[in-house]
Structure 1
Amino acid sequence: MQQRIALITGGSRGLGKNAALKLASKGIDVIITYHTRRDEADALVHQLEQLGRRAAALQLDAGNVRSFATFAEQLKTVLQDKWQTGRIHHLVNNAGMGIYGSFAETTEEQFDALMNVHLKGVFFLTQTLLPLIADGGRILNISSGLARFSFPGYAAYATMKGAVETLTRYLARELGPRGISVNVLAPGAIETDFGGGQTRDNPQVNAMIAANTAMGRAGLPDDIGDAIAALLTSDSNWITGQRIEASGGMML
């Protein structure tokens, strides 16, 4: 049986890094992308190799559609050189960035920056990589609980995530004949540096989130890494076109 390989965009840090480590612990080889911090990416590749997995890191600007064809060629080369294959089995569209701002103050430049990474980038990178995704593979798009519940300051960000959730259903419908399942995972508030680290570093914000979450605490990176690994490594290929929220029951 061919070794399974996952590609995680934005995988050098945060939730992507956690997901890479979780997948490696379950026997999946991993290719991560990074934007600017090659040192972080190389360090993670070393960690993954220490776990006994093969791994690689490729630079990618997830908001620059014109770079995707070149990226695909680089991916083909890495796959052939390191794995002697031309296919990946899992694509995790995780790369992202946050811009906080009220609806009234959000600029067109901020809107476009979010759209290029979170929506246009996801759409066209997935399109570009379709020939490299094995039949029977899985695509997992990362959304946000903010596409369901609302907090002031995230109107533009949540708009992009809502669009990705719609895109996920269309991808599931169109890729179903190839046996490719496509789902969307929506994390709740997680203790990372997202949004300036408010959930992690601000005790008042953390307490507010815990009080509004069924599980009684804010989320941790492990919670999302475990969810990603479960969706990609379990016998769940019959689940497709679905939005799965990993928020501990936030804002129910």
Structure 2
Amino acid sequence: MGVTVVSTRVLEGKVALVTGGSRGIGRAIAERLGRDGAVVAVAFGHDLAAASGVVERIRKGGGRAFAIQAELGRRGDAAALWAAFDAQIEQHSPEGGVDIIVNNAGIGRGTDLASLTEEEFDEIFAVNMRAPFFIVQLGMKRIRDGGRIINISSCAARMAMPEIIAYGPTKSALETFTRNLAKELGPRGITANSVAPGIVGTDMNAGWLRGNAEAEAHASSLAALGRLGQAEDVADIVAFLASDDARWMTGGVIDASGGIGL
């Protein structure tokens, strides 16, 4: 009696773009989508070595990936990103185009109302909201019908956190943008959803969390599931949204916080 082998490469034939894909949550997302069979464009701003490492790990796992550089938060950033994508995509996927856009890149500013400067305010909105907006706008001629747009938000979008007063509003705006995309692009079968992580053990939180047992214990206590979030916890949710299993989900915000604030 023969054994039927079921492939787990549910994204075979798909192309994914992941911004901020060289580290943290973006790295985990890129590697997971690569394992699921997608050709992954790992977009990064500064760290070529880290992005190349992600590409190499995807390839060693039997996947396909390439790195593209574009520093977000500047005028013309989305156009530069897509130009870098267009320059390489046909080498990896001859038909070109993209199926999955993951707007993951983001920055945080541990600054309160009294201390936040206009320059810092402009920068955080430019990276966290303006860049995703124009990446999607310019991506509309590239994304295929039935595609997926997944925006990485934060539980800070729904919680008062005055110590990072500008960060939460950028994510609230991103979630509103996502709902509008769902309505706008629904006729093409394109879904748009937000994923909202809580406290995750990544480089973004390293300054106050890594190596600090007391801070880690406190962060873990905030989650109903009683532990610190990991990048892979978020990546697995993104992989579900990217798959056909999530074809009837759009315009939503998926909590990926382990139950923070319940």
TM over 0.5: yes
CA distance in 2, matches of 1:197, 1:28: 33
Amino acid at match of 1:83: S
Q: Structure 1 segments of 4 or more deviating over 6 A?
A: none
CA distance in 1, matches of 2:146, 2:19: 20
Deviation at 1:91, TM superposition (A): 0.2
8 Å CA contact 2:39–2:93 kept in 1: the answer is no
TM-score (norm 1): 0.95
Report whether the alignment pairs 1:185 with 2:195.
yes
Describe the superposition over 1:155-182 as per-residue Cα deviations: whole angstroms up to 9, x where unpaired.
1011101100111000110011111000
Q: How many residues align?
A: 252
Q: Give the equivalent residue in structure 2 for 1:233.
A: 243
Q: Give the equivalent residue in structure 2 for 1:245.
A: 255
Structure 1 residue ranges without an equivalent (≥5): none
Instruction: Indicate the SS of the match to 1:153.
Output: helix
8 Å CA contact 2:145–2:189 kept in 1: the answer is yes
Describe the superposition over 1:166-224 as per-residue Cα deviations: whole angstroms up to 9, x where unpaired.
11000110011111000000000011121444234322222222222110111111111
8 Å CA contact 2:194–2:254 kept in 1: the answer is yes
CA distance in 2, matches of 1:139, 1:105: 34
Describe the superposition over 1:61-95 as per-residue Cα deviations: whole angstroms up to 9, x where unpaired.
12123133243233223122221022111000001
- Farther-moved stretch of structure 1 (103-112 vs 73-82): 73-82
8 Å CA contact 1:35–1:61 kept in 2: the answer is yes
Instruction: Indicate the SS of the match to 1:55.
Output: strand
Query: RMSD value over aligned CA atoms?
Result: 1.5
- Farther-moved stretch of structure 1 (69-78 vs 48-57): 69-78
Q: Give the equivalent residue in structure 1 for 2:4.
A: none
Instruction: Indicate the SS of the match to 1:201.
Output: coil
Instruction: Indicate the SS of the match to 2:140.
Output: helix
Q: Give the equivalent residue in structure 1 for 2:102.
A: 92
8 Å CA contact 2:25–2:235 kept in 1: the answer is yes
- Farther-moved stretch of structure 1 (55-64 vs 205-214): 205-214
Report whether the alignment pairs 1:67 with 2:53.
no
CA distance in 2, matches of 1:139, 1:179: 11
Cα gap change, 1:93/1:99 in structure 2, threshold over 3 Å: closer, same or farther? same
Report whether the alignment pairs 1:23 with 2:33.
yes
Deviation at 1:2, TM superposition (A): 7.1
TM-score (norm 2): 0.92
Higher helix share: 1
CA distance in 1, matches of 2:83, 2:200: 34
8 Å CA contact 1:189–1:199 kept in 2: the answer is no
Q: Give the equivalent residue in structure 2 for 1:83.
A: 93
Instruction: Indicate the SS of the match to 2:49.
Output: helix
- Farther-moved stretch of structure 1 (156-165 vs 18-27): 18-27
Q: Give the equivalent residue in structure 2 for 1:194.
A: 204
Instruction: Indicate the SS of the match to 1:131.
Output: coil
Structure 2 residue ranges without an equivalent (≥5): 1-10
Percent pairwise identity:
38
Cα gap change, 1:219/1:70 in structure 2, threshold over 3 Å: closer, same or farther? closer
